[in-house]
């Protein structure tokens, strides 16, 4: 694959895993771009694809293990990619689910440096009830967001179209980008959309 010079991968490195606290004093305040979605939607895989790294974010075999806010510094471009904890893990208790809400609500409500959120929707499963609630919450909060459909290398053309239609309805005009971390489809487009959000022009 030949990369156009204007869409190089993010050069990211893991900085910190933060649970229910403010950024440590030692961490620079920089624009933040959060990536959220249900457990197993393909967040870690997408992060790795955006950065063209195999194991920057651990691709979990046991879903729902990510409980903290994971900060990745994008070097040279000077912003953080923030991997939010996944919601809707089937085996999580009610308590864990509401813990998730608390962590993410608090982060998105107070984070002054948050420039935007990429919401991932599973391209095979389609939007879940929790995805719908998350997007509605974002719309109410006035935060900028876009929706990335994941795993579009899977399924048939008509299955993909069905998911696409549901996501278009849900997005209510926000950008929708179809991606596959496995094939690389849509990754450059998503990277560009993220850069625009970070710069405040998206």
Binding site for Mg ion (CB under 5 A): 43-44, 66
Distance CA 149, CA 192 (A): 16
Question: Degrees (nearest 5) of the Cα angle 135, 140, 141?
Answer: 95
Sole window of 1-9, 33-41, 126-134, 190-198 interacting with ligand GTP (rule: CB under 6 A): 33-41
User: At its nearest, how many Å lie between ligand GTP and the CB of residue 192?
Assistant: 18
Cβ proximity to ligand GTP: between 154 and 162 the closer is 154
Per-residue tokens: 135? 């997007």
User: At its nearest, how many Å lie between Mg ion and the CB of residue 113?
Assistant: 22
Q: Decide if 152 contacts 180 (C-beta within 8 A).
A: yes
Cβ proximity to ligand GTP: between 41 and 170 the closer is 41
Using rule CB under 6 A, residue 171 touches ligand GTP: no
Comparing C-alpha atoms, which of 40, 153, 197 is closest to residue 163? Answer: 153
Cβ proximity to ligand GTP: between 42 and 116 the closer is 42
Distance CA 179, CA 181 (A): 7
Q: Which residue is nearest to ligand GTP (CB)?
A: 86
* Residues in a beta bridge with 146: 118
Q: Where are the beta strands (DSSP E) in the chain?
A: 12-18, 32-37, 69-74, 79-83, 114-122, 145-150, 176-178
With tokens 């040279």, the residue in question is: 76
Using rule CB under 6 A, residue 70 touches ligand GTP: no
Cβ proximity to ligand GTP: between 64 and 116 the closer is 64
Name the site residues for ligand GTP (rule: CB under 6 A): 39-45, 59-60, 63-66, 86, 150-151, 153-154, 180-182
């Amino acid at each position: 694959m030949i990369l156009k010079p204007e869409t190089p991968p993010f050069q990211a490195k893991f900085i910190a895993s933060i649970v229910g606290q403010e950024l440590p004093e030692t961490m620079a305040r920089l624009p933040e771009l959060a990536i959220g979605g249900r457990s197993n939607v393909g967040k870690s895989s997408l992060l790795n694809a955006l950065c063209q790294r195999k194991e920057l974010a651990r691709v979990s075999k046991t879903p729902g293990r990510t409980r903290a806010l994971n900060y990745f510094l994008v070097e040279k471009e000077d912003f953080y990619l923030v991997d939010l904890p996944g919601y809707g893990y089937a085996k999580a208790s009610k308590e864990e689910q509401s813990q998730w809400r608390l962590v993410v609500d608090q982060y998105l409500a107070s984070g002054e440096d948050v420039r935007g959120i990429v919401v991932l929707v599973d391209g095979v499963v389609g939007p879940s009830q929790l995805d719908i609630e998350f997007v509605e919450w974002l719309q109410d909060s006035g935060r900028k967001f876009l929706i990335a459909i994941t795993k579009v290398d899977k399924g048939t053309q008509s299955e993909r179209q069905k998911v696409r239609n549901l996501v278009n309805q849900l997005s209510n005009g926000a950008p929708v980008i179809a991606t596959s971390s496995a094939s690389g489809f849509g990754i450059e487009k998503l990277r560009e959309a993220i850069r625009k959000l970070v710069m405040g022009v998206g």
